[in-house]
Amino acid sequence: MNQSLELTKRLQSAIKAFWSTRKTQALKQGALSGNKDAGARSAVTGGAQMDGFIGLVRDLLCENGLLKAHVYCGKYVELPGWYRPEKKWDLLIVSDGRLLAAIEFKSQVGSFGNNYNNRTEEAIGSASDIWAAYREGAFKPSARPWLGYLMLLEEAPGSISPVRAREPHFKVFPEFNEASYAKRYEILLTKLVRERLYDAACFLMSNAAEGPRGRYTEPAPELNFQNFIASLLAKAIAVAKSR
């Protein structure tokens, strides 16, 4: 099978798992009991929704020569920070006492306004924190680690409709004028990579109707999954060959 097609099918499976996990969590927390707010929150805070993506990336790493024992997810994923004692990452690669990579996997379904701001601050803050810690020697004898960020956003009227920016004193940068939350995420992730806060980022969108069947879109070619994983695997394969 064509490698690109195979990768697409595996990514579709991760999309399906995301929506299936959300549904299961919501049902367990009583989302159908009539308490809409509690149900929606349970699906956001239940965790495990991005496990399909984490597992996919872990498997691709190991299939390309990295030892499974060097890939951490779920536990032993804390790294020291500069502005805080430690932070949990979703996936780490640590080989022979060297930090090789750290990745965040995030999603957002609904509540686009508030959560967009939170996600933006988290992404910038986490990168700034780890690079300051690296500068101060927290990961010696590691060379500069690879940093990645994967974001899955719900495709819905609230995420794809234009949003007016508030400008009570000064004008926002023109790319944000009437930009939807989806476009704002695309801008954010593109800038994070171009400013070298992250080595690669991936931006996926999926809707609640077709997502359970594996449907997704990649709004920005620069931020597609194939580019993201190719960048990570280049780092992992180099390490595997050096052993």
221-235: pLDDT as tens digits: 999 999 999 999 998
Position 39 pLDDT exceeds 50: no
Q: What is the pLDDT of residue 92?
A: 97
pLDDT band at 1 (very low <50, low <70, confident <90, very high): low
Mean pLDDT calculated for residue range 22-28: 81
Burial tier of 170 (Cβ tally within 10 Å: 0-12, 13-18, 19+) = exposed
Taking alpha carbons only, the member of 115, 110, 111, 117 closest to residue 166 is: 117
The answer for residues whose C-beta is within 8 angstroms of residue 133's C-beta and 6 or more apart is 79, 80, 81, 82, 139
Mean pLDDT calculated for residue range 57-64: 94
Q: What is the pLDDT of residue 240?
A: 65
CA distance 235 to 144: 11
Position 113 pLDDT exceeds 90: no
Q: What is the pLDDT of residue 34?
A: 52
Q: Please, what is the average pLDDT of the chain?
A: 90
Mean pLDDT calculated for residue range 159-177: 94
Contact 64, 229 (CB under 8 A): no
Q: What is the pLDDT of residue 26?
A: 76
> Where are the chain's structural domains?
48-242
Q: What is the pTM of this model?
A: 0.89
Q: What is the pLDDT of residue 43?
A: 39
CA distance 96 to 94: 7
114-153: pLDDT as tens digits: 889 999 999 999 999 999 999 999 999 999 999 999 999 9
Taking alpha carbons only, the member of 160, 133, 149 closest to residue 228 is: 149
